Amino acid sequence: MLRIKGGRIYDPERNINGQVEDICIQDGKIVASVDEDAPTLDATGLIVFPGGVDVHTHVAGGAINFARAMSPEDHRRAQAFIRTQTTRGGIGGYAPTTFATGYLYAGMGWTTVNEAAVPVLSARHTHEELHDIPVLDKSLLVLMANNEILLDLLDTGEHERAKDVVAWYLWAAKAYGVKAVNPGGVAAWKWGHDAKQLSTPIDGYQRVTPGDIITHLARIVDELHLPHPMHLHCNNLGAPGNVATTLETMERLEGHRAHLAHLQYHAYGGDDWDSMRSAAAQVAEYFNASPHLTTDAGVVLFGDTVTITADGPWQHLLYKLTGRKWGNLDVENETGCGIVPYTYKRTNLVNAVQWAVGLELLLLIDDPWRVFLTTDHPNGACFWRYPEILHLLMCRDFRRECWNTFPDRIKQRIVLPELDREYTLLEIATIISAGPAKALGLNTKGGLAPGKDADLVLYSPNQDVAQMFSHPRYVIKAGQIVVEEGEIRSTPAGREIIFQPGFSPDVESYLRERFEDCYTMSFENYPVEMERVENPLIQSADPSGQS
Amino acid sequence: MGGKVTCTLGEVKNRADFIVYWGGNPAECHPRHFTKYTIMQKSRFLPRGRKDRTMVLVDIRETKSVKAADIFLQVRPGKDFELITVLRAMIKDQPVDDSAIAEIGLQRSDLEDLVARMKRAKFGVMFFGMGLSMTRGKHMNSAALLTLAAEMNAFTKFVAMPMRGHGNVTGADVVMRWQTGYPFGVSYHRGYPRYNPGEFSTVDVLVRGDTDCVFVLGADPGATMPQPAIEHLKRVPTIVLDPHVTHTSRLANVHITTAPAGIAAAGTAYRMDEIALPLRPAIDSPYPSDFEVVRRIHEAIRQKPDWRVRSPWIERQLDAAH
């Protein structure tokens, strides 16, 4: 039991904008009132936000663990987490270890994260890592847009069976939702190719095109009533002129819900690297008129990081461009994965445009309920740099200081200098918590109303916005104080949120027959056992339909 | 140079029409590799199985694996790095001196043929064993081969994979990476993970005599490590957990027999391609699992006073209490 007294509340869902109200907590939930003699936390003068929700991050599983192996030189210079009576040892940096990931997110006031790209084949491994990320509640999305069993079904137009296959995979992985990465392109990468055109059949298939995968998968996700729409990493990521692909993708999504991941990487004009320019205005204009879509920004910040994505062909190109280390991991029947360390430089024309585009999208998309703060961690920057971005969004003068250092030829390629918008605190609370919680369909997250999970963060007001957001005064997770003045006070285990749609039982015999041809693991060993998932919180669309 | 271009074993099974084993003897060391994952399998893309695939073996001597190979290249001992470097030059059509090739112990025509076949392949894979990674040049050999595989992607699809062995060594490597950031050779002496192979790897710590207690789990250093390391194992309290009595058990103070994982105990094993497989016991065992023994030892240690660093927050709470 706890009463938080006298704080200034920011709750976008109820449009509470800094009014002073008490918040009462009991059994991990926010409640309308608690006993008079409940312990009190004096929050006078403090700003109270719902705990942060990351809609798109890469914190656990084969890909980030590959990146950890490839980054010993970064670990050596990164923040060391010394074990204490409350915390375990670890390493920060651009590919933090699991325990450190929990401490870094919680230390910043984020309490829920969505691991956005997991091959079903390595879901067992991913759950083991998620188990070792303390404090946070977690969900994961499985990669479906290059699954060869599914592509065969789409090629022959067997929509109903494809739907069952997707539902079965979600059940097998103990996942929460569906991710599509470079639809068809990663399947083509298995032979060293890519898929650049939405209407050209994919290598090795008769009919199915990337555009078909996008619409079919979005439809399947809608028909399965998944709480989170299809989470899409569009084709042609990172390429100059890819705005055409992005607009065409949005057109094909008419009539379906979808979440467009890291939109910054998909909003470029120009014809080649020399002529690359921002196309954020075009993308934002279309997006503003498409209320069925949500997106996250995928902001780039200058500095060192490592890029990891299921988009194998893109990573091969990045390796050729940079000549740096290259990790690649193709996963049988399902997907690929590529890893390349990268340094974003403010003197590099392409990087400067990318930096601007991420901010432009956040400023040009009108509705904060539909665009969310991410860096596509660790791709654009590490998640622990979010406060720097909040500073840029809230302070036009600070933005000017930054872009003023760019050479003139860059300033002509971006629209950022013309944008005067400054985010309010309520809008910030929307893009870091309420909005992503709503897009994920996590009804108990992202708000401060009675009935919500008692995940909240209290900041001391500070002119230095970045300082304020990186050092909360208190962080409370499920009613327990986990961070106090920048120190980890307790490290309770988080929960894993799982969604299990129903599927027709015949899909098992269909998959069992195909399994030996596609995989090297026996059918019985493939699904993750529910006992392996720590504290599962299972949701299902139709409780009776579960097989 | 760096990184690794690889895939899961099912990709090899389904697609690899060109397979190289380098510095390994899978016929004897990974006897099911050929039949389950590589040359013998038929697939959608390679319907004729063995006939659709080419296998090359590179080694310093003829082993039982030669019989399975279409092409055997016998490299002079200690010249693997040179051979890889020559191949890296030849795929890019750079000139290579005759003397460089003579040094390796192979013919130019052999290498030209190999390069042509590599480029013609639709999907090439190179598996490398300890004959490459543990001989002269060591990790530099592995790095060179991984680089060759990466560079081959300018021409066609190519991947590489180490032939891991020794039980669940890949699993240990994977867990160490997510918990510490490093695969092995980690020291926790300063309270956070530090990595320095050659300083913190087990053999170096033992040879220097830096430990005053040794806990051995799923390994038999008494059989494989150099004499000075073994001498140190004898000098200090050594505890072994193993289903069998090993060489190390014989020099240890304590041996605890545990149920073998996958036979009489449940658990998880990571395949060499880092895919986690569940282990289910087929029979019961009178012995506890490794997990159970470690859990009970940990439980007993927790009863002792905590000597770890206190967080400043806890210090303040204690101060306030006094």
pLDDT interval class at A542 (50, 70, 90): low
A97 contacts B193? CB cut-off 8 A: yes
Closest by CA to A416, choosing from A360, A355, A364, A353, is A360
A547, pLDDT greater than 50:
no
- In B, minimum Cα distance to A124 occurs at B276
Of the residues B128, B162, B196, the one at which a domain ends: B162
Which of B162, B191, B216 delimits the end of a domain?
B162
Shared domain for B19 and B103, answered yes or no, is yes
Q: Say if residue B22 is in the same domain as residue B113.
A: yes
> Does B178 share its domain with B206?
yes
Work out the number of other CB atoms within 10 angstroms of the CB of residue B225. 19
Same domain, B145 and B193: no
Q: For residue B252, which amino acid is it?
A: A
Residue A541 pLDDT: 67
Per residue, the 3-state secondary structure of A225-261, as one string, reads: CCCCCEEEECCCCCCCCCHHHHHHHHHHCCCCCEEEC
A window 119-158, beta carbon within 8 A of B: 121-122, 124-125, 128-129, 132
Range of the domain at B19: 9-162
Q: Are residues B94 and B156 in the same domain?
A: yes
Residue of B168, A12, A41 lying closest to A22 (CA atoms): A41
pLDDT in tens, A64-118: 999 999 999 999 999 999 998 889 999 999 999 999 999 999 999 999 999 999 9
B308, pLDDT greater than 90: no
CA-based nearest distance A83→chain B, Å: 5
Per-residue model confidence as pLDDT tens digits over B37-52: 999 999 999 999 999 9
> Tokens standing for A80?
């060391």
Q: What is the largest CA-CA distance in chain B?
A: 83
Does residue B102 share a domain with residue B178?
no
Could you tell me if B314 lies within 8 Å of chain A, comparing CB atoms?
yes
Q: Measuring CA to CA, which residue among A101, A102, A130, A125 is closest to residue A115? A: A130
Q: Across the interface, do A91 and B192 touch by the CB < 8 Å criterion?
A: yes
3-state secondary structure of A44: coil
CA atoms within 13 A on the CB side of B102: 3
Q: Is B308 on the interface with A (CB under 8 A)?
A: yes
Q: Any CB–CB contact under 8 A between B309 and chain A? A: yes
User: Which residue, B106, B140, B162, sits at the end of a domain?
Assistant: B162
What DSSP character marks residue A331? B
The b-or-e profile of A466-499 (16+ CB within 10 A means b, else e) is bebbbbbbbbbbbbbebbbeebbbbbebbbbbbb
Preceding amide of A378 cis, omega within 30 = yes
Give the closest of A93, A124, A330 to B7, CB-based: A330
Same domain, B77 and B145: yes
Banded pLDDT at B306 (limits 50, 70, 90) = confident
pLDDT value at A546 more than 50: no
- The answer, yes or no, to whether residue A150 has pLDDT greater than 50, is yes
Query: Residue A543: what pLDDT?
Result: 45
pLDDT tens profile A275-290:
999 999 999 999 999 9
Instruction: Report the DSSP pairing between strands B3-7 and B18-22.
Output: unpaired
Tell me: do B151 and B260 sit in the same domain. Answer: no
Average pLDDT over residues A232-257: 96
Give the domain CATH number at B246: 3.40.50.740
pLDDT at A544: 44
Interface of A with B in 329-358 (CB under 8 A): 329-333, 339-340
In a domain, B194, yes or no: yes
Q: What dihedral angle (degrees, nearest 10) is formed by the CA atoms of A240, A246, A247, A248?
A: 110
| Total number of domains constituting chain B | 2
* Partner A contacted by B17 (CB < 8 A): no
SS3 sequence, chain B? CCEEEEECHHHHHHHCCEEEEECCCHHHHCCCHHHHCCCCCCCCCCCCHHHHCEEEEEECCCCHHHHHCCEEEECCCCCHHHHHHHHHHHHCCCCCCHHHHHHHCCCHHHHHHHHHHHHHCCEEEEEECHHHHCCCCCHHHHHHHHHHHHHHCCCCEEEEEECCCCCCHHHHHHHHHHHHCCCCCEECCCCCCEECCCCCCHHHHHHHCCCCCEEEECCCHHHHCCHHHHHHHHHCCEEEEECCCCHHHHHCCEEEECCCECCCECEEEECCCCCEEEECCCCCCCCCCHHHHHHHHHHHHHCCCCCCCCCHHHHHHHHHHC
Percentage of chain B modeled with pLDDT above 70: 99
The percent of residues in chain A predicted with pLDDT above 90, rounded, is 94
Cβ-contact A67, A95 below 8 angstroms: yes
Domains belonging to chain A, first-starting first, are: 48-442+450-496 (3.20.20)
Whether B285 is covered by a domain: the verdict is: yes
Q: How far is CA A519 from CA A268, A526, B18, B275, in A?
A: 38, 9, 19, 12
Give the per-residue pLDDT at A458.
98
Per the CB < 8 Å rule, is A487 touching B310? no
Could you list the beta-strand ranges (E) of A82-163. Answer: 90-91, 110-118, 137-143
Greatest pairwise CA separation for chain A in angstroms: 71
Instruction: List the single residue in A with minimal CA-CA distance to B11.
Output: A332
Q: Give pLDDT tens digits for A398-415.
A: 999 999 999 999 999 999
CATH of the domain at B91: 3.40.228.10
Question: What is the per-residue pLDDT for A197?
Answer: 93
pLDDT for res A204: 87
Size of interface A-B (CB pairs under 8 A): 180
Residues B185-209: tens digit of each pLDDT: 999 988 999 999 989 999 999 999 9
Give the span between the Cα atoms of B138 and A405, in whole angstroms: 47
The helix/strand/coil state of A68 is helix
Per-residue pLDDT at B305: 82
Residues in A touching B274 (Cβ below 8 Å): 62, 65, 122, 125
Contact flag B180-A190 (C-beta cutoff 8 Å): no
pLDDT digits (tens, 9 = 90+) for B65-119: 999 999 999 999 999 999 999 999 999 999 999 999 999 999 999 999 999 999 9
In a domain, B298, yes or no: yes
What is the pLDDT at residue B1? 64
Does residue B104 form part of some domain?
yes
Residues B177 and B94 in one domain: no
For residue B3, is it within any domain? no
Measured between alpha carbons, how far is residue B166 from residues A133, A401, B191, B279 in Å? 29, 57, 29, 16
Residue B322 lies in a domain: no
The ipTM value here is: 0.94
The shortest CB-CB distance from A85 to any of B6, B174, B314 is to B314
Average pLDDT over residues B134-148: 93
Does the pLDDT value for residue A478 go beyond 70?
Answer: yes
Give the containing element (helix H, strand E) for A435.
Answer: helix A435-440
Instruction: Assess contact for A175 and A530: CB atoms under 8 A.
Output: no
pLDDT of residue B304: 86
Distance from CA of B37 to the nearest CA of A (A): 7
A236 Ramachandran zone, left/alpha/beta (phi>0; psi -120 to 50): left
Distance from CA of B15 to the nearest CA of A (A): 9
Helix boundaries (H) for A28-132: 62-69, 72-77, 98-108, 123-131
The answer to whether the CB of A73 falls within 8 A of the CB of A36 is no
Say how far apart CA A408 and CA A184 lie, in whole Å: 39
Q: Which helix (H) or strand (E) holds A177?
A: strand A177-181
Residue B96 lies in a domain: yes
- Looking at the fold, whether B106 and B67 belong to one and the same domain comes out as yes
Mean pLDDT computed over every residue of chain A: 95
Residues of B in contact with A521 (CB under 8 A): 10, 275, 277
Question: B50 in a domain, yes or no?
Answer: yes
Per-residue pLDDT of A336-356, as tens digits, reads 999 999 999 999 999 999 999
Lookup result for tokens 């690899």: B16
Q: What average pLDDT does this structure show over A449-455? A: 97
Residues B154 and B243 in one domain: no
Residues B84 and B196 placed together within one structural domain of the fold: no
